[in-house]
Amino acid sequence: MKAPLDHQKLDVYKAAIEFVALSDTVANELPRGRGYLVDQLRRAATSIALNIAEGAGEFSQQDKSRFYRMARRSATECAAVLDVCRCLDLLAHNEIENGYTLLQRIISMLTKLAQVTSGTGTGTGTGINATPA
């Protein structure tokens, strides 16, 4: 097996990929006529993972931080889509809560990553460290 790429070692990336799968399941359960929500959720969820990968591939700490902040914004966008689904009573409560729980974890890790790479955080106890594959 080949060695994982830098982004594949990050816990936050693994959680983001998990959220992509969860968001696809949620999108498939939305009723017909809600394609605008399906599209927005899928694009924003994918954007989380893609921006994390781009950040991990950067050499510049400032650019890393910028990509992690973009990923964080996409995660909060996903939470807003779930808010709309909750408000319109489009999904089961547990599906929305599962999404919120995973997004809170992702947002927390991305916040710490952005702080650490920008030089404003310590990076201790964040859960952002790479884990062996």
Helical spans, DSSP H, in 1-133 = 11-29, 35-56, 61-87, 93-118
Backbone φ, ψ for residue 20 (5° rounding): -60, -45
pLDDT digits (tens, 9 = 90+) for 25-36: 999 999 999 999
Structure tokens that stand for 72 in this block: 């964080």
Say if residues 52 and 7 touch (Cβ distance below 8 Å). yes
Q: Which CATH class is domain 7-118?
A: mainly alpha
pLDDT tens for each residue of 39-95: 999 999 999 999 999 999 999 999 999 999 999 999 999 999 999 999 999 999 999
Q: What ranges do the domains of the chain cover?
A: 7-118
Model confidence pTM above 0.95: no
- Amino acid letter for position 51: N
Q: What is the pLDDT of residue 2?
A: 86
Q: How far apart, in Å, are the Cα atoms of 58 and each of 42, 71, 93, 96, 98?
A: 25, 14, 38, 33, 31
